[in-house]
A and B are shown apart, each in its own frame.
Chain A
Amino acid sequence: MALTTTTYGYTKEHSGEARPVSADAAAADSGSLTFEIKHMDLFYGDHHALKDVSMDVRTHEITALIGPSGCGKSTFLKSLNRMNDLVENCRITGDIRFEGKDIFREVDLLALRTRVGMVFQQPTPFPKSIFENVAYGPRLQGISNKGQLSEIVEQSLRQAACWDEMKDRLNQSALGLSGGQQQRLCIARTLAARPSVILMDEPTSALDPISTQKIEDLALELKEKYTIIIVTHNMQQAKRISDKTAFFLLGELIEFDDTVKMFTDPSNPKTEEYITGRFG
């Protein structure tokens, strides 16, 4: 089995407080690379959707992907946990490495998706209770002990800042929550699977400003322990929360730099046009 999750797993001494997973790895890993993408091309049938994209994603940073609709930013994001495998006729060439390993050849698909979690544009709770939603990932990973599950659920809900509002209704259907609550529940669900990376595909575009604010705060908190890659339509959001920003246009990565530099002194005129709102 080509499993690459050597530093990863549940251990008893970790099950107590805060985050067990990458807490100790954090110091060692800071500054290291989570994703290395080199000369990646993606085709939907004949359509050349991503052209020669190369990018490094640093551990414990928030990387924002911006660009007009249809520029390929979401497609790029979905390639990182191989969700594009589900799309018929989708073909990827080039090199994508996760923690130094080729995600297509050296990492098990299920292990990759466990370690690289994803939050979608629309909140996507399962038609189960709040508890079962969050417990879904751990259960997949073979945890069936009720006490252990409860602990993980509580921890994840706390991390996603929804424990206080949901702790009394854990057994109620998740479909009864508001949109913003559902989205935070989905983040908790992703966290419960103990990933090291969280991919967010326009997570706030379906939410009201207050819920958006909460999710942004959450992202900033989570970056202490996770690497976050977020696709966003909202340039202010990218500016507010991200460390690095990548600007996509028509399937090409036009510019990739520190967010501060990108928004004050972009090196490509197209980037400047986009961020000053002249198109898109």
Chain B
Amino acid sequence: MNQLQKAIAKAHRNDRTAKILITACGVCMALVPILIGLFLFYRGTDTFTLFHHSLTEFLFSGEWNPGDTAEGGGKVGAAMFITGSLAVCLLSLILTLPFSMAAAIFMTEIATPKARRLLQPAIELFTGIPSVVYGFVGLTVLIPFLKSIFPMPFSFSLLAAGIVLAIMIFPTITTMSADALAAVPKSWREASYGLGATRWETIAHVVIPAAKGGIATGIILGLARAMGEALAVAMVIGQMKVFPKSLFLPASTLTTAISADMGGAMEGGEYNAGLWTMALLLFLLSFAFIFLIHYINDLSTLKGEKK
């Protein structure tokens, strides 16, 4: 064989090896979330199989008193954590949505393109800021501030957690919505103005309806982030194991319960199992959010909208 033939034979050999290795990496990538799901499932179902609690008890009962032993025999009702999570998420969404929408609309419809090019990256920068920093500012600024205006027993509260999360998800929702609004064709706006509509009418009747798929995706991503956030919430919510009855009282969420107790609960105990079940629930919820996003996208494409 001459040099060229050798080189070609080697190229073929390397090509085959590389193809196998690269494909293996792709498959491994796909296996990671499946593996995570399997492990969570394996640990999270102990509550039901090993300690014989029912799914209804876990989801709907408010009695949380699992035994920290392998014998079990306690109560594993996570309803207060679940409602706590839902309440905090909803609250943060309600608080952030008006400002997100205003900021997104301001950036795309009112501000000059130059201002938008400056504003949007600046806002996006905030998605990267560590959650503990948000928690720290919540602790040192927000909590004293809330205490000074509301008569609260502990000042750590659902409201404080909601506000911190609202600030955290503001950049996510705003940038996603702004992208969706900016993707609406300019000609649609011009057509609306041409019919004598004002800017507000154009925004309300043309731009927002056209962008609602993208806006919904942004909201869901924000919700997913709020649902999964642990430490920032844990720092300001007060972590009291009660149902969230008032905005001004402490509460707990799925993530705060896990972060507070997982380190202390005995491996293989009922308490531990209960916490793993909560982690499994979080995993399934984030899966559900993805499906929701896909569903919305499919809906928009079916109607012939641009994504």
Contact = CB atoms under 8 A, between A and B. Distances in A.
Interface of A: 1, 3, 5, 8-10, 108, 110-111, 114, 140-143
Interface stretch (B4-12, B207-215, B248-256, B272-280): B4-12
Interface of B is mostly: helix
Contacts of A8: 2, 4
A142 B3 contact: yes
A5 B4 CA distance: 9
Given A108-B12, A140-B11, A141-B3, 6 more contacts: A3-B8, A9-B5, A10-B4, A108-B8, A140-B7, A142-B6
Nearest to A115: B4
A140 B11 CA distance: 8
Interface of A is mostly: loop
B11 A9 contact: no
Interface in B5-62: 5-12
Contacts of A3: 1, 5, 8-9
A9 B3 contact: yes
A88 B57 CA distance: 55
Contacts of A111: 4-5, 8
13 contacts: A1-B9, A3-B8, A5-B4, A8-B2, A9-B2, A9-B3, A9-B4, A110-B11, A140-B11, A141-B4, A141-B7, A142-B6, A143-B3
Interface in B111-169: none
Given A8-B4, A9-B4, A10-B3, A142 B9 contact: no
Interface in B179-228: none
| Centre residue among A10, A114, A141 by max chain B CB count within 10 A | A141
Interface of B: 1-12
B10 A142 contact: yes
Contacts of B5: 1, 3, 5, 9, 111
A144 to B, nearest CB: 10
Contacts of B9: 1, 3
Contacts of B8: 1, 3, 108, 110-111, 114, 141
Contacts of B11: 110, 140
Contacts of A1: 5, 8-9
A64 B128 CA distance: 59
A66 to B, nearest CB: 34
A3 B10 CA distance: 13
A42 to B, nearest CB: 26
A10 B2 CA distance: 8
Contacts of B6: 142
A108 B6 CA distance: 13
Nearest to B9: A1
Contacts of B2: 5, 8-10
| Centre residue among B2, B3, B6 by max chain A CB count within 10 A | B2
B20 to A, nearest CB: 18
Contacts of A9: 2-5
Contacts of A110: 8, 11-12
A140 B12 CA distance: 12
Nearest to B7: A142
Nearest to B8: A110
Contacts of A142: 3-4, 6-7, 10
Contacts of A114: 4, 8
A64 B55 CA distance: 77
A87 B1 CA distance: 32
Nearest to A142: B7
Contacts of A10: 2-4
